[in-house]
Amino acid sequence: MPTNYTAAAAEKTRQNYEALQRFYPPLTLDKPRRSPMRELISTVLSHRTTHADEELAYDRMLETFGDWAGVEAAPTPELAHAIRTTRWPDTQAPRIQEILRRIKAERGEFALDFLAEWPTEQAMQWLHEMPGIGLKTASLVLLFNFHKPVLPVDTHVHRIAQRVGMIPPKASADKAHQLLLAQLPADALVLLNFHKHNYWHGQKVCFYAKPDCPRCPLKGFCNYYLEHYGPATPEALAATPERWDLAWGELQH
């Protein structure tokens, strides 16, 4: 990749961070949204599944089998039935049981707190070796629960990075993970805000099918905007809302 491309992409990443930091509420690191075990298993359940259906599957699973030991020991077809609101329950059920089996066999209990003490790369590799745990899931657990300097690249982060020009248009999500991390400071708070703000932006403004570019604070430096609307005019920039108004929709945590 030529140096001028790399420098321009890094500048767009910096502009993205600053613009979305102003547009959405800033986040802090002090309170993980879920326990590490819940974050890990919920992320497996969330694959191509709505948040509501993922939560329903998680609740049904624990109501039916009681705890992680019960989930691990459950007849697999019954576990698949309990998580039937997910996209691929017949694949996810044995996967979840295998993950639980490995955690118990290696650590003696169903807990991930030991990862707090591990170096980031070692923790990432350990999680990544679990069946069905990709970079995104491992990064979510390590960033949200243990404040490690890693970046989850979900479908929203990936799409916006491509459209804005922070990464090449055809870069995969795993490549995006590597490129964006190299452009951002190794600071968990910055990475949490970057991830979450782009996640919200993908949900609320930069939609997959029809991005709401007139409302977007990234229009001044976005490649997609330039291609579809031309250079952002002073009028278009002035018409951009300063920040997200909760009257337009709640931001999911």
Residues in binding contact with ligand SF4, number by CB under 6 A: 14
Residue 156 as a binder of ligand SF4 (CB under 6 A): the answer is no
Q: How many angstroms separate the CA atoms of 46 and 137, rounded?
A: 10
Query: What residues from 189 to 208 belong to the interface with ligand SF4 (CB under 6 A)?
Result: 205-206
Closest CA to 218 of 194, 185, 248: 194
Residue 56 as a binder of ligand SF4 (CB under 6 A): the answer is no
Q: How many residues does the chain have?
A: 253
For residues 118 and 147, is the Cβ–Cβ distance under 8 A? no
Least separation in angstroms between CB 150 and ligand SF4:
23
Least separation in angstroms between CB 210 and ligand SF4:
9
Other CB atoms within a 10 A radius of the CB of residue 77 amount to 12
Q: Which is nearer to ligand SF4, 56 or 213 (CB)?
A: 213
Please tell me whether residue 127 adopts helix, strand or coil conformation: helix
Report the chain's C-alpha Rg in angstroms.
20
Paired tokens of 147: 């404040």
The binder of ligand SF4 chosen from 136, 158, 163, 204 (CB under 6 A)? 163
Q: Which is nearer to ligand SF4, 123 or 213 (CB)?
A: 213
Interacting residue ranges for ligand SF4, rule: CB under 6 A? 160, 163-164, 205-206, 211-213, 216, 218-219, 222, 224-225
